[in-house]
Structure formats: C-alpha cells, structure tokens
Amino acid sequence: MNAEATDWMDDVSRIAVLTGAGISTDSGVPDYRGPNGVWTRDPSATAAFSYSSFMSDPQVRARFWRSYLGHSAWHAEPNAAHRALAELERHGSATRILTQNIDGLHQKAGSTPRKVVELHGSMHDTVCTRCRVRTPSTLALARVAAGEADPACTACGGILKLATVLFGERLHPDTLSLAGNVARACQLLLAVGSSLLVEPAASLCAVAVEAGARLVIINRDPTPYDDLATEVIREPIGEALPRIVRERLRSAAARR
C-alpha cells in the first residue's frame, strides 16, 4: 500500500464496514472456506449448516451441537483488526459495522452494540423454532455437555437452534433493511475478510457503490466484487486494517 493509498478515506465522514470470517481468524476462530477452513477440512460438515437438514434430521442437529460445544469462539478475544474498528468509532468517525460473523467479537472489542448489525445472528443466544423463546446458548450447551444430544425447548418441546442464520434460511427482513440503509448512507464501505460469496450480505457492496460510495476490499483471495472496488488490498487483515485506521486518525488530526 503506497503513501497515497488511504486518500479514499480522507474526505469521508460516514464509514460502513462489512466483515466476514477472515477478520476473526487471528483470534483463533476458524473460517469456513480458507485453506484450513471448517468446510475445507470436512466438506460433509456443511450439512449441519443447512436449515432443511437441521430441522429434519436429529443426527444433524446432534452433530451441530457437538461442533459448538467446544468451539474456539466461546473463549476468543478480539484481535488488532477488531480493536482498530472500535478505535475508529471512539475517535469520532461515524462507523457502522455490518458483520457476517456470529462471534460477538466486535462488541467485545468495544464497538457500540447498536452500531453492529449482526447479519447472520449471534451464537450467544439460542431460539426455539416453534415458540421463538430466546435464551442464552450456555443453557443449551450445558445440557449437551451433560449428555443431551439434541436438547429441546423447555417451554414447548420445540427444536432449539442457535440464533444464527443457516443456509436456506432467510435473513430477518428488519436486519436486511437496516443493513441496506447503512450501505446506501455510507460514503465508504470497507469489505474485510469476506469471500463475498454469500448473498444477500455480499450484495451490500453493490448497494453502496450504486449509491455513490467507494468500496475498498481487504481480503486474501479474489472476490466477485473486486471489479467494483476503488482498491483491493491483499495484505493480512491484522496488519492492513490497523494501519488504515492509524492513517485515518493521523490525517484527521492534521486537519484540525
């Protein structure tokens, strides 16, 4: 990245950041499609993330719950990239985060929870698919650890699932509407650590560009939206994003 590489950040006041699994790998949370991704290592694991399979097959649900019982995300800590975005907000930039991640690390890093739109939900809550009662995931996972392979809702006996969006399941319309409004209102959209293969989240890049925003992609691999980007950065996220934020803050201080 050259000295002028962050010129696209100098004259913007409204920044949206679309984050994917790649921003959390430095925290020890595996991604899905990378060289050591969950689905790369075990393609059959994708069945547990299909809504139809999850709802119809108790064995799929049992595998799903087992996979989350010892998941690294429960004990993960925010890394330099998460902290950089929180710092950007703390220093007065109008920053909204649209995250495909379910790990809660943006909030843990200090980003204001109401400014983080969790497009695919949160692993920290469990919801009953019948009565919609929402409870902390720790309760269901404690039952799994005690020997229940497929814990049912204690209120109605319905199927429990993490409060996350599985393949074949629609995003909540209010969440999608809010994300679209953020994308249309921003002047700069940073797409960080996302393959931009999962829709409709990925299409927020096009929504922002069509509304006049600049798009900058920070990702290891090519994405379907690279051609729309003002700049594509292939450097490690944990190095590139903190440097971009530092440059933004230095530039803002110099203009005061």
Comparing 144 with 34, which gets the higher pLDDT? 144
Domain with CATH 3.40.50.1220 in the chain: 1-29+78-120+171-256
Pick the CATH number of 1-29+78-120+171-256 from 3.40.50.300, 3.30.70.100, 3.40.50.1100, 3.40.50.1220: 3.40.50.1220
Cα 225 to Cα 236: distance, rounded to the nearest angstrom: 19
pLDDT recorded at residue 250 = 86
Amino acid, res. 176? L
In the sheet that 134-136 helps form, which strands lie side by side, from edge to edge? Answer: 134-136, 121-128, 160-164
3-class SS of residue 151: coil
Q: What is the pTM of this model?
A: 0.91
Asked if the model's pLDDT at residue 34 lies above 80, the reply is no
Looking at domain 31-75+122-164, which CATH architecture does it have?
Answer: 2-Layer Sandwich (3.30)
Active-site residues, by number, are 120
pLDDT tens digit string along 135-147?
Answer: 999 999 999 999 9
Comparing 40 with 110, which gets the higher pLDDT? 110
pLDDT tens digit string along 60-75?
Answer: 999 999 989 989 999 9
Output the average pLDDT for the chain.
91
